[in-house]
Amino acid sequence: MMNRILIFGNSGSGKSWLSREISKQENLSEINLDSIFWMPGGFSQKRSNEEVEIKINELKSLESWVVEGVFGGLVENFITEATEVIFLDFSWEECSENLLYRGSGSSKKLDPEVAEIKYKELLQWASEYWTRKSKSSHSFHNFLYESFKGRKQRITGREEVSSYLLFSNSTTGA
């Protein structure tokens, strides 16, 4: 059975964690949009538009997947192929707490100094989620969610994430 789950929301909302959990539970390929958008080794160098487009077309044709990301322009490429959409619509307080807990991960990057600068930029960028006018904004994510006609879930807190996983686990028999 084809199962294509698309998860989006602000940085720090738990998209990657939820994607990993669902991919394990449902045995789906896990696709992180950061890995499509950024070159390996950190978040300092973007891939070319051509590279991104080729990778998206390759991945979205897979039979089953769980895709997660904040980049609404990339999310938009997968939404027509999705069988389910999950919008992690968390408050800034919860997102910022998660980002601060996670830290910069600078020790894992090729250049820890650059990683720390990029982390501070990420915190600023993520705090502007509700006021941004780009496709990586709350308003565009909300538009995508409201426009989607298939199975969808707006999750606004950790308890709802746990309930979602518990419910989906019980319906698949895993």
Residue 77, H or E segment: helix 72-79
Nearest alpha-carbon partner for 156 in 31, 6, 19, 9: 9
Residue 5 in contact with residue 84, Cβ under 8 Å?
Answer: yes
pLDDT confidence band for 168 (50 / 70 / 90): confident
Tens of pLDDT along 136-151? 999 999 999 999 999 9
Residue 65 in contact with residue 31, Cβ under 8 Å?
Answer: yes
Tens of pLDDT along 77-114? 889 999 999 999 999 999 999 999 877 664 555 577 77
Residue, of 114 and 3, whose pLDDT is higher? 3
At 110 the pLDDT is 59
Residue 31, H or E segment: strand 29-32
> Is 4 a residue whose pLDDT tops 70?
yes
Residue 121, H or E segment: helix 112-127
At 54 the pLDDT is 78
CA distance 151 to 106: 38
At 173 the pLDDT is 46
> Is 75 a residue whose pLDDT tops 80?
yes
Which class in CATH covers the domain with range 4-172? Answer: alpha beta
Tens of pLDDT along 16-65? 999 999 999 999 988 887 777 765 655 556 777 788 787 887 888 878 98
Type of residue numbered 41? G
Burial class (CB in 10 A: 0-12, 13-18, 19+), 76: middle
pTM, entire model: 0.85
Residue spans of the domains in the chain: they are 4-172
